[in-house]
Structure 1
């Protein structure tokens, strides 16, 4: 089975144009899709509901969206009715199989006003795949402050490492006539970590050996500058970290450097049964 992570930058590509169709075309073949920077109400994209638009374009996938940041964007009373207008920014998970249990985690952040600082999140989805139950997390970390990122990677590791202790999204589901959610401990932490392999944040993710960078087989860049950033250097910012047992079953890694729908590139892994 295949999984892909893609920071889609609101659907704005390397050429500065907005095009959801090329975003979807780049990931459609994947069995599990983890997206970051999915928005609703963004002024640069005509305020469309990107989560709904992406789900509509991928009718063969089940999906969930977690808006980590959610702020008012011009709500008002119109003709005696309250009209909600929100700007939402978050992560999405889509899969060919139902998402058995989903949780949206808010990651640590600071009160920073000199530069953009959106609430970041980690969307967790437990999926019964043909190769067994796997928890996929679509993750997006801060792009400015290394100290904030370190707090966030510590939180991400805690989410992954202590799943059993925290109980997941639900236990005792039989009370509602629902099947119990089971888990054997395999997980994938996919997304835009906004740090390079020589960073302290990356080092913390892998230092104890229980979590492995499953994408290390392709150590090249996953972010490149847009048309208006000629002096910027390419960087490696996007990863798929797995627990060690699952990482040993990763049979292929690929970064799609031909994609032009965002400044990030889709990062693919193949998992064998």
Structure 2
């Protein structure tokens, strides 16, 4: 029996939306067509700061809007985290500005600074024009940045949502892999990712900052089941990028029709955008 616990829609209202309602217009639901187009993107938003390290959520929102994507995976997302992002809920604010649904999956969720205050949280998020019908924050191996003497251990922050795209359920995962030069933690994280994704069926899309380039040995197992939507361009740093560490990867039930890296300094990373076609059932 699987031990996975999936959050169903009524509970999603409490953790992903402002004012107790999911953000964005209701999506149309109909019979799935034979092929379904979907534009997806991944973007490490650097907690709302650009290459100039200035916090500017207006600039972040404008950069996301320009992608014109149906589903966006975000990394380095603050929710009441600290002064660098003015203690604001970036996940909720960006969703509201773009008129999209949102699911936030914290990596860190700390005790409030005072009684009744919000929990400072940092993690990943999914924005979607399509209704999110279920969501889960999975644990993968991490080396905590909040512990002065960390050891690799399971921790949350691997987000999964199911969105229904014109009647077809699609699994979308968003991740942020370990940044350290030693690949050992990323090796474990890739193994965790493959195990989690293997439990699902149908179209699967993995979005994230992998902190490793495509030829890195620790990423090789991913390409056994997934196709790297290679834009042929680097993504980091945003100003004069020299390496590609941000990815859109898809299962065999999705075909990549086009992929590109828009020029922007709204973050220290550039986004990756991919036009997909989902194969009908």
1:127 maps to: 163
Q: Which structure has the larger Rg? A: 1
Partners of 1:8 and 1:136 in 2: CA distance? 18
Distance in structure 1 (CA, Å) of the matches to 2:128 and 2:253: 22
How many residue pairs align between the two structures?
Answer: 233
Q: Call closer, same or farther: CA 1:202–1:4 in 2, change over 3 Å.
A: same
**Structure 1 residue ranges, 4+ long, deviating more than 6 angstroms after superposition:** none
Counterparts of residues 7-156 of structure 1 (less than 5 Å): 7-28=44-65, 29-41=68-80, 42-59=82-99, 61-72=100-111, 74-75=113-114, 82-110=115-143, 113=148, 121-130=157-166, 132-144=168-180, 145-156=182-193
TM score, norm. by length of structure 2: 0.76
Q: TM-score, normalised by structure 1?
A: 0.78
1:198 to partner: Cα distance: 1.9
Residue 212 of structure 1 pairs with residue 220 of structure 2: no
Root-mean-square deviation (Å): 2.3
Distance 1:64 1:85, change over 3 A: closer
Structure 1: how far apart are the matches of 2:156 and 2:59?
25
Measured after TM superposition, the shift of residue 141 of structure 1 is: 0.9
CA distance in 1, matches of 2:198, 2:221: 13
- Structure 2 residue corresponding to 1:250, chosen from 252, 256, 262: 256
Deviation readout 1:180-204 (Å, 9 max, x if unpaired): xxxx521000110111112112212
Aligned to 1:180: none
Q: Is the 8 A contact 1:91 1:138 kept in 2?
A: yes
Residue 130 of structure 1: CA displacement? 3.1
